[in-house]
Amino acid sequence: MNNYKIFEPIRTAVAIIIALIIAFIVILLVSDDPIGTMTILLVGPLKATRYLGNVIELFIPLAFTGVATAFLFRAKLFNLGAEGILYICGIIATVIAIKLKGYGILQAVVAIGVASVVGMLLGGIPGILKAKWNINELVVSLMFNSIFFGIGFYILNNYLRDTDQSLVASYRFVEPGKLALGNLVAGTRIHYGLILVLIVALLSYVFMFKTKWGYALRMTGANNRFAYYMGIKTFSVIVYTHLIAGFIAGMGGAVEVLGMYDRFRWGALPGLGFDGALVALLGKDHPLKALLAALFLAYLRIGADIMARSTEVPSEMIAIIQAIIILLISAERFLAKWREKQLVKEAK
């Protein structure tokens, strides 16, 4: 049984190692100093407190979207809508934050609260469409990403835009040099959103594994027909899973905007929502393991950024690593023979 338990972590580790080896081969092709480049990618973030701070700063939104997507994937709902919800809820948080500028803690609390609720309602739309009419949630969620971006960008350009700024940006919602979510660790930009995301992940874990709703959710994901015949109301499971995921993604958008910026600055979808899918997958759709996955991905991303700044290899290189990790981890047959051997050995 012990070997069986450690199988999954080993498999994940092997997948990551293979991906890194392939990444190294690619670097070998494009870089003059492949070993130096690879070293920067792998240990670059450890070199300065500021870089480590960057890792945690990036971890926060990735953890939000990762936990949100873990709910959906756990129920076998392939919805990638966290991206659009993150964006539009960032806009909503900005609107409120501008209105409540100078109200201190109240500003952040109200902005995050309202954005989360809006995220929940918007996230529920594909859920109801799926539950009621079995409309493909993947396609709908992707269409909604573009729709939410279009509407959000329209609001930004027409109602929030500070025309004194050369780049796309909203009006300021905090005084210069301050951030709405404060500073948690001196010397970095880590903000109180970190504590919030840890609480959200913990509550998600409790919900998913210690309540009957979480049980229904997991059963629906494991086998929705079986769950249905067992008497689980799969209709409501699909809807509340979407509502929760939307709530968390919306909160993530608000926290990211208020925690990291003094103005809303996203002129395009930031991609953090799509990364949530990868985080959820790496974390095996488990809220706490998703935290580890988010930390890993954030580390890799910051490593890639440092690499792109100091070498000629672009940070998009990371896309290759990600694709290989997804393919290998989702592959049931990957290392299956090895596992079968282990099982046989134990039986003897």
Partner 1 sequence: MGNIWEIIFATDFIFSVVRVTTPILLAALGAIVSDRAGVVNIGLEGIMLMAAITGVVISAQTQSAFIGLFAAVCAGILIALILGYFVLEMKSNIILGGIAVNLFASGGSVFLLYVLTGEKGTSSSLASKVVPNINIPIIKDIPIIGEIISGHNLITYIAILSVVAVYLMLNKTPMGTKIRSVGENYHAAESVGINVKKVRYIALGLSGMFAGFGGAFLSMGYVSWFSRDMSAGRGWIALAAEAMGGGNTIGTTITALIFGFAQAFANSLQGLNIPSELITIIPNVVTVLGLCIFAITKTTKVRKVKANEKNNN
Block residue for tokens 């974390």: 283
Cα separation, 309 vs 226, whole angstroms: 52
Residue 147 touches partner 1, criterion: CB under 8 A: yes
DSSP state of 170: B
CB of 77 to partner 1, least distance (A): 11
* Residue 170, beta-bridge partner list: 161
Residue among 4 and 154 whose Cβ is closer to partner 1 = 154
Identify which of 272, 291, 293, 270 has the alpha carbon closest to the alpha carbon of residue 281. 293
Helix (H, G, I), strand (E, B) or coil at 161: strand
Residue 163 touches partner 1, criterion: CB under 8 A: no
Per CB under 8 A, contacts with partner 1 among 257-276 are: 274
Residue 307 touches partner 1, criterion: CB under 8 A: no
List Cα–Cα distances, 306 to 25, 123, 139, 292, in angstroms.
19, 35, 35, 21
Q: Which helix (H) or strand (E) holds 207?
A: helix 193-210
Out of 2, 134, 163, 166, the residue judged to bind partner 1 by CB under 8 A: 134
Residue 316 touches partner 1, criterion: CB under 8 A: yes
Residue among 82 and 108 whose Cβ is closer to partner 1 = 82
Residue 167 touches partner 1, criterion: CB under 8 A: no
Q: Which stretch binds partner 1 (CB under 8 A): 7-15, 57-65, 127-135, 179-187?
A: 127-135
CB of 185 to partner 1, least distance (A): 30
List Cα–Cα distances, 113 to 21, 96, 180, 242, 254, in angstroms.
44, 10, 14, 18, 9
Out of 25, 323, 343, 346, the residue judged to bind partner 1 by CB under 8 A: 323
CB of 274 to partner 1, least distance (A): 7
Per CB under 8 A, contacts with partner 1 among 83-112 are: none
Residue 139 touches partner 1, criterion: CB under 8 A: yes
Identify which of 332, 234, 246, 280 has the alpha carbon closest to the alpha carbon of residue 74. 280
Cα 108 to the center of its chain, rounded Å:
21
Binding site for partner 1 (CB under 8 A): 30, 78, 80, 129, 132-136, 138-140, 142-144, 146-147, 149-151, 153-154, 157-158, 274, 277-278, 281, 314, 316-320, 322-324, 326-328, 330-334
